[in-house]
Amino acid sequence: MSAPTTNKKLLDWVAEITAMCTPDQVVWCDGSKEEYDRLMGEMVASGMAIKLNEEKRPNSYAFNSDPSDVARVENRTYIASVKEEDAGPTNNWIDPVELKATMSELYKGCMKGRTMYVIPFSMGPIGSPIAKNAIEISDSPYVVVNMHIMARVSTEVLRLIEKNDDFIPCLHSVGAPLEPGQEDSRWPCAPIEKKYIAHFPEENLIWSYGSGYGGNALLGKKCLALRIASNMARHEGWMAEHMLILRFTSPEGKKYHIAAAFPSACGKTNLAMLQSTVPGWKVETIGDDIAWMKPGPDGRLYAINPEAGFFGVAPGTSEASNPMALASCARDAIFTNVVVTPDLDVWWEDMGVECEGGTDWKNNPWKPGMKDKDGNKIKGAHPNSRFTARAELCPVICPDWEDPAGVPIDIFVFGGKRTSVMPLVHEAFSFEQGIYMGATASSEPTAAALDVGAKLRFDPFAMTPFIGYHAGDYMQHWFDMGETLGDKAPRCFYVNWFRKTDDGKWLWPGFGENSRVLKWMCDRVEGKVGARETPIGLMPIDGELTLDGLDIPASDWAELMKVDAEAFKATLADAKDYLAKFGAKLPAKMKEQMAALEKRLEA
């Protein structure tokens, strides 16, 4: 087919990649329903996709990936900056010239026997001043259909590229060329040692090879929206963050916008789609994973969700934990590595419904309670199995979620998973202290982790795998943005939903009750409630965070609000050890915040 654009830079790039990868044909994608349905039909016919029960799960499909290709491959993910020091200690670095030479060899003829798809997409509402235009080239129809849901795929993007001659090039291949007559596998990919997820920050360029899964292959997601965008944001004066965005509306109709960063397994998606238990207060979702934020004409920080869909972890998603996420994938959804039941519906662990069996994530016959040869229970769905769902189908999607101007952020929330020490909620004395709180967000090591016996696991701003440059420079960018925003900077809070008693019982009920904590934050912004000063920050005065209707003994509440100075000194010591690895790049203001906290803890 002829190219639907006149942009020379784009045409030259597509020609260059075509010559290198030698596909059988080139298809320019348009984002239409006809295109989506056609590709799904082709994948069902080839055996790659399973069409689900039209009555139970309309227009939905299931896929099974190769067992070697089930998650992001962080140890094969690279920031190939010109200087190694610019990548910093949280990233894998390879010299960009060397990496391009290695990957160019792999790309030679890698699309033989396949179709090369040229996917024009926008991260953010098309034409938004905060959005970015990009092109992903891929030989995977699975990538195309997922990009239809996760980004705005449209020929309108080509018109914008023709106007401003600017796009972010993203190249992807599953790395599995086909010889004439060779049968394709259900999930083509390359072996782990040939997988590369490469970012070239000086060129705003992404190259991905060998994986067909998730953030390794849907290059608009973590690769562009965080790793490349975080570096662009530093140079252009905005922020690309691993944050949910929600609107919290009071009974009087006052709207508050909250952006929150949590490490994995800390309830991020659940908070984004929270069902408020505070009478008259309503939560609406704007985004569940990524926020792009730019100062607006009034000096406040405005945020968009650059994505158009949810790429959610399936296991644990249930009517009890997150009914809104479950409703979002009731139709027009893609499921990857879940159980497919005999009546062609889907199931996963902790879904909250019974399952008699079906085929598991490896496409093998499966029943609950099955065990392997060592006596271990076989899970039906992979722990990282996913649903891809359209954000517009979420019952609590905010009516302004696609406003090109974005929404003004009032509050930043940071958090981690601590069974002790960290109280339920506290507020920063200042935006700069808030940056320190976000930069030292931490969780306790888990029994399943390789770091048992280690100190706290720090995950600055929940961005450790996604900062596209030196993490010390990234922290400095937060301070620079604080100076830009001045007194219009969002208020900063830190939460911990996971405090336990000595005998292992949760002290806080969590889930919808977390709306009570959000309300206290909004009341603080409005000046409706005071706060008591503690060494770590400002905390609720008893009675001002409403507990009406909750059965929380006074002793439990006291424990939830407890600030143990000696325990915090140990946390501070761990933070110092962690931050030391950033060396001379650690911002002076971070050291000032540590010194100030130390002084308050000694007082």
What is the set of active-site residues?
266
What is the spatial order of strands in the sheet that 386-390 belongs to? 49-51, 61-63, 334-336, 386-390, 309-313
Please list, in sequence order, all residues whose beta carbon lies within 8 angstroms of the beta carbon of residue 363, skipping any fewer than 6 positions away.
Answer: 64, 186
Tokens representing residue 343 in the block: 């009546």
Pairing of strands 168-173, 205-209: parallel
Closest by CA to 148, choosing from 16, 333, 296, 273, is 333
CA–CA gap between residue 425 and residue 529 (Å, rounded)? 14
User: HSE-up of 471 (CA within 13 Å, CB side)?
Assistant: 24
What gap in Å lies between CA 463 and CA 328, rounded to an integer? 26
CB 47 within 8 A of CB 184: no
Q: Which residues contact 59 (CB under 8 A, 6 or more apart)?
A: 331, 332
Supply 1's token pair: 């087919």
* Nearest-angstrom CA–CA distance, 342 and 362: 15
Question: Percent helix, strand and coil across the chain, each rounded to 5?
Answer: 35, 20, 45
**Which residues on neighbouring strands pair with residue 294, listed in sequence order?**
302
Measured distance CA(365)–CA(357) in Å, rounded: 8
Which phi and psi (to 5°) does residue 478 adopt?
-60, -45
Instruction: Judge whether 214 and 147 are in contact, CB under 8 Å.
Output: no
162 within 8 A of 339, measured Cβ to Cβ: no
Q: What is the DSSP letter of 167?
A: -
Beta bridge partners of 135: 120, 169
Across the strands, what pairs with 261? 414
Euclidean distance between CA atoms 299 and 39, whole angstroms: 45
Burial of 64 (0-12, 13-18, 19+ CB in 10 A): buried
Residues 6+ positions from 119 with CB-CB distance below 8 Å: 29, 135, 136, 137, 138, 143, 144, 147, 153
Running DSSP on this structure, what letter comes out for residue 423? -
The H or E element that residue 107 is part of is: helix 96-107
- Main-chain dihedrals φ then ψ at residue 50, nearest 5 degrees: -115, 120
What lies within 8 Å, CB to CB, of 519 at 6+ separation is 248, 278, 281, 545, 546
The DSSP 8-state label assigned to residue 177 in this structure reads -
**Amino acid letter, residue 517:** V
DSSP 525-587: HHT-S--EEETTEEEPPTTSS--TT----HHHHHHHT---HHHHHHHHHHHHHHHGGGGGGS-
Pairing of the two strands 61-63 and 49-51: antiparallel
